[in-house]
Structure 1
Amino acid sequence: MNYKYSEHQIVKFSNVDFKLKLGIVDACQITQNMVTDFFRKYDFDNSIIASRNNAVLVVLKHKLHFNRLPDFDEAMDALSYTTKKSTYLFEIETGFKHNDEDLFFCKSEICPVDIKTREVKKLSDIGYPEEMDLGPNRLIGRAKRNLTVFNEDDYIYSVRMLPTEIDYSGHVNNVCYIKYLINTFNTAYLKTIDITDIEISYIHEAFEGNILKVYRKLIDDNTYSFLIKREDEELTRATLSFKQK
């Protein structure tokens, strides 16, 4: 592959959770950082295309798989590359390894939109490299469509969108939604499970001042389904799979 971005990383204390392992939310955050650095390396990250092309990149879906979350101070090698591209969107996969052990992966489905109208733009409109080559697809398939029916019995809590949740694109950062999912549990329960997979679809954007309602439903022995709404509008649907320790 000619188009890729790699980094050697150490799990910092600020990235670990109450189990002294890399937290799920922080795993998503460092994945987002890797993807952004990949974009920046090839001259089309949001800080560049916002002024040059009046556009920003938005994530449509995330598909994550966790074999193991690394410990505090553990070394990782991270690699990001493109696995699929079309006229309007592309997929990028980021993987983290310790020596030869695969730790976790994330596939992101991304498209550019106009800053003001939020209409989808072509990749060619933002300076996306025409010769971008593709790497191996280790996370097969897109995030599955979540058709779970929720009612008010599944409501867990509400959260107001504050300035610290807003990113350069002007909307709530995608990693925040992962945090809202995890925060439906308590630490006592999280100590009893290992999260293995998260699939999340971002349907609409949320903005500063919005109040979001978070719903959770156990749909089988090892899978939860989630819905995040603004009033009656669905913003995000997700599933989270786990195994008992």
Structure 2
Amino acid sequence: MNKDELTQTFIHHIGPQEVDCSGYMSLTALGSAILNTAGDAAEKHNFGMNFLLKEGLTWVVSRLSISIDKLPKMYDVIKIETWIKNYGRVFTIRNFKIYNSKREEICKASSQWAVIDLKTRRPFDLRNKPEWQQYATEESRGVEDPIGISAISGELISEHRVRFSDIDFNQHTNSMKYAEWMLDSYSPDTLKNRSITQFDINYMHEALYGQNIKIVRSENENQSLFNLTDNDNFSVCRAAIRWRL
């Protein structure tokens, strides 16, 4: 399989429900579009959710990094390019570049994924799927791998009880719901006057229905750090938002 076939392209139309009060595509909608593109790309190569679920397996994202130069507006059309950088024993990295209708690169993203067994909730050894290796490009193309985020000490700013609407088909909190909870800790005026240039998130443990999640935040001039913990004070995710000055 040649390199051109390993890069997949998808067109996404920005709907009204994907735009927040700033008038631009929201972070959660952007993240969802990126993650949905990963799923669509995997389906086209026959290792997507429909394939894995038949074997009692599923994909889960463990890290996501999004760099934002410019956000699209309502009814804009964007092109999302995606390719797999590499496969390891447990993790695989998939990268993305996003272009507007003028063919300008407006965002980049990198994601780290694992396959887990739905019964044991334990990671699946990707070496048991050697046929997937043919889809790895071994190319970053200027996209940096998602980073690890250290624990922080900060201020408890809010709590959220996981609701039915937070849960996805994997029976745990949907990946972008965490970002939604973080952004909900700010006022609309704050978010209207600040734009995000970088978003990094690490998913540490599953947040399940009924759990009470504490949201701790630490702020400096251009960065906000988050630590979300469960009832037992374990981190379910950590995140960093860098703001454009």
Please, what TM-score do these two structures have when normalized by structure 2?
Answer: 0.92
Q: Does 1:10 align with 2:10?
A: no
State the 1:230 CA deviation.
0.6
Task: Give runs of ≥4 in structure 1 deviating > 4 Å.
Answer: none
Query: Contact conserved, 1:5 with 1:37, CA < 8 A, in 2?
Result: no
Change beyond 3 A, Cα 1:227–1:45: same
Residue deviations 1:162-207, cap 9 Å, x none?
1221112121111111111111111101111110011111110011
Amino acid at match of 2:77: A
Query: Contact conserved, 2:229 with 2:237, CA < 8 A, in 1?
Result: yes
Identity %: 17
Q: C-alpha separation between the residues in 1 aligned to 2:71 and 2:50?
A: 31
Q: C-alpha separation between the residues in 2 aligned to 1:41 and 1:124?
A: 21
Identify the residue that residue 145 of structure 1 maps to in structure 2: 149
CA RMSD of aligned residues (A): 1.6
Q: Does 1:77 align with 2:79?
A: yes
Q: C-alpha separation between the residues in 2 aligned to 1:91 and 1:115?
A: 21
Structure 2 gaps of 5+ residues are none
State the 1:149 CA deviation.
2.1
Secondary structure of the residue aligned to 1:159 is strand
Q: C-alpha separation between the residues in 2 aligned to 1:128 and 1:13?
A: 40
The count of residues paired between Structure 1 and Structure 2 equals: 239
Q: C-alpha separation between the residues in 2 aligned to 1:70 and 1:16?
A: 9
Change beyond 3 A, Cα 1:198–1:38: same
Residue deviations 1:30-57, cap 9 Å, x none?
1111011011111122232122x22111
Structure 1 residues 140-179: aligned runs within 5 Å: 140-150=144-154, 154-179=155-180
Identify the residue that residue 110 of structure 1 maps to in structure 2: 113
Q: C-alpha separation between the residues in 1 aligned to 2:109 and 2:212?
A: 28
Q: C-alpha separation between the residues in 1 aligned to 2:7 and 2:170?
A: 24
State the 1:58 CA deviation.
1.0
Q: C-alpha separation between the residues in 1 aligned to 2:168 and 2:34?
A: 16
State the 1:127 CA deviation.
7.2
2:60 to 58, 61, 64: 58
Q: Does 1:205 align with 2:201?
A: no
Q: C-alpha separation between the residues in 1 aligned to 2:7 and 2:169?
A: 23
Structure 1 gaps of 5+ residues are none
Q: C-alpha separation between the residues in 2 aligned to 1:102 and 1:87?
A: 32
